[in-house]
Chains A and B, each alone.
Chain A
């Protein structure tokens, strides 16, 4: 994926979320703004037949995986045009036919599921991999230890991607987790593990590529920690717990500004092309909004569909 595409995909997530938060009907959301580089860098390396699983912070991962913004917005707003007919929302959105096995809003809940998906892929004997994104909060959960152990034991084609945004709601990483570096958690299991700057999309992409080669060669799982910063509170209903000075400092680390500045400096993109890209992304989000607004809410009778 070119730098243009990386930039475009990050801009799309940011613009999409900026549109969503302005809507009165936005509902309960967890945003990926500030953390775009993690999903975009990761997804830039995934193949069509790979699968991505993520936490309930799913908007960034879903858009980075290439789901149509209109479908995503429809799902978030509870419309039947969403891939899960609006039943899953942000926390459980999925489109496995496009390589997005889906979100699961229980912290750490998707880790063991992802290992199972990886087992199914391994049993099919293909070169595909499963990537599972989770937050630093999930690193305190037993499910991670159980998954690391079995994935290593069985050489599962599983890439564990810790999006370490450094807070579980209000609890700082240092107050919740003893290890200084979360990638150290994977080391005793004998798998390659690395911590990278999650605000640098090319660093995330390059590390993902290295690990994806390792996994596709049948050498088993890998663990990638990406240090990131969220620009907004934990969720649309959570109080901001971080000091203003910290939030201001975080804004200066914006992965979109970082990449676009670099590209402008290197002459990879002109200011005019960058402005045009922003316009195009805005137009795409507007189109998504029109699509989602036109879609219907489910009939109440649907509450009993697809149960058993």
Chain B
């Protein structure tokens, strides 16, 4: 899939508006869809990404909940298993750790363990990433979730993908973790006028190049694309892939690109150890020989609210450019 296909007949909206639109359309289409979360009612969500839904659908379908993440996800999962469809908003991904039991031990295994008698069509929508809020409000733990059989994980980088992936998530028959990023909410982008879903497991080829393949997702697409622009000015042509979907992973699109470039660099905001990049790199090595690979991610340290330390811990365009040039000059891989 190419970018131009998706921008035909589009309207420019903010990221948070894309979320609202997807929720509104799906709630209209499916009367069983109920939203659960903290401050999602009249308040409209911490990032105003639920604005207007409470007025449109009422307190029974847009339910404010106490600060009780385990119960929020557990109730969302139980209700979904019993015939409803639910979206549970966990304000920050760090807090999802409090709710891993119902998500991982119950929802992800439900279809298997009941031999298909029960399924849990639940979406856990959460917000990852660093924006000055410190060690327990900044983490990206998507790689943990990718390792859970039965869970699907998606992380859009644009309003169009937020809209299309959230719609798909809300039609899935099993649990999905949908991940926003704090720095994406104020961004704007083109979203198709016509309602449309984006299938899971399809990465987006966002920039064509021949020297190196850059693979990223979510907010890290921003520094990745900045780096690609700067590398281009230095004569290094970058093929850039936005994963969009982490589980399932679209290895075919990555493989096609790396066959052309022979070099891959992954960029993520989470930890490198057992990270998204590690997984992609190893799978790629199983598919292709003789490829140069490097990974970029957060340093192995907590993400501080101190802005100097936060910046020191995270990838940025400079670090990506340096990594790519080092790899191409033969010192890595």
Contacts of A97 in B (CB 8 A): 117
Residues of B participating in the A interface, judged by any CB pair closer than 8 Å: 32, 34, 60, 65-66, 68, 70-71, 73-84, 86, 101-102, 105-106, 109, 111-118, 149-152, 174, 248
A-B contact pairs, 9 of them (CB 8 A): A87-B112, A109-B106, A113-B78, A116-B79, A116-B86, A119-B84, A120-B78, A143-B101, A147-B71
Q: Are B70 and A142 in contact (CB under 8 A)?
A: yes
A interface, by DSSP: helix, strand, loop or mixed? helix
Q: Are B75 and A306 in contact (CB under 8 A)?
A: no
Q: Are A84 and B78 in contact (CB under 8 A)?
A: no
Contact of A149 among B68, B77, B248 (CB under 8 A): B68
Provide the bound-state CA to CA distance between A123 and B82, in Å: 11
A9 to chain B minimum Cβ distance, whole angstroms, is 24
With A153-B66, A307-B150 in contact, is A88–B113 under 8 Å at CB? yes
Q: Are A150 and B106 in contact (CB under 8 A)?
A: no
> Cβ of A102 < 8 Å from any Cβ of B?
yes
Q: Are A84 and B77 in contact (CB under 8 A)?
A: no
Provide the bound-state CA to CA distance between A300 and B254, in Å: 32
Q: Are B75 and A119 in contact (CB under 8 A)?
A: yes
| Best-surrounded residue of B74, B80, B86, B149 (most CB of chain A within 10 A) | B74
Q: Are B115 and A306 in contact (CB under 8 A)?
A: yes
With A109-B102, A147-B71, A150-B71 in contact, is A306–B116 under 8 Å at CB? yes
Map CB proximity to B onto A123-136 as digits: 1 under 8 Å, 0 otherwise: 11000000000000
Map CB proximity to B onto A56-95 as digits: 1 under 8 Å, 0 otherwise: 0000000000000000000000000001110110001011
Contact of A116 among B66, B80, B113, B149 (CB under 8 A): B80
Provide the bound-state CA to CA distance between A305 and B149, in Å: 11
Provide the bound-state CA to CA distance between A111 and B70, in Å: 10
Provide the bound-state CA to CA distance between A117 and B76, in Å: 9
Q: Are B174 and A308 in contact (CB under 8 A)?
A: yes
List CB contacts (< 8 Å) of A96-124 with chain B.
96-97, 101-102, 104, 106, 109, 111-121, 123-124
Provide the bound-state CA to CA distance between A88 and B105, in Å: 13
> Cβ of A240 < 8 Å from any Cβ of B?
no
Q: Are B116 and A307 in contact (CB under 8 A)?
A: no
Q: Are B75 and A112 in contact (CB under 8 A)?
A: yes
Q: Are B79 and A308 in contact (CB under 8 A)?
A: no
Q: Are A150 and B105 in contact (CB under 8 A)?
A: no
Contact of B84 among A106, A120, A150 (CB under 8 A): A120
Q: Are A123 and B106 in contact (CB under 8 A)?
A: no
Contacts of B105 in A (CB 8 A): 104, 106, 109
With A109-B106, A146-B71, A150-B68 in contact, is A116–B77 under 8 Å at CB? yes
| Best-surrounded residue of A94, A121, A305 (most CB of chain B within 10 A) | A94
Q: Are B70 and A116 in contact (CB under 8 A)?
A: no
Q: Are A87 and B113 in contact (CB under 8 A)?
A: yes
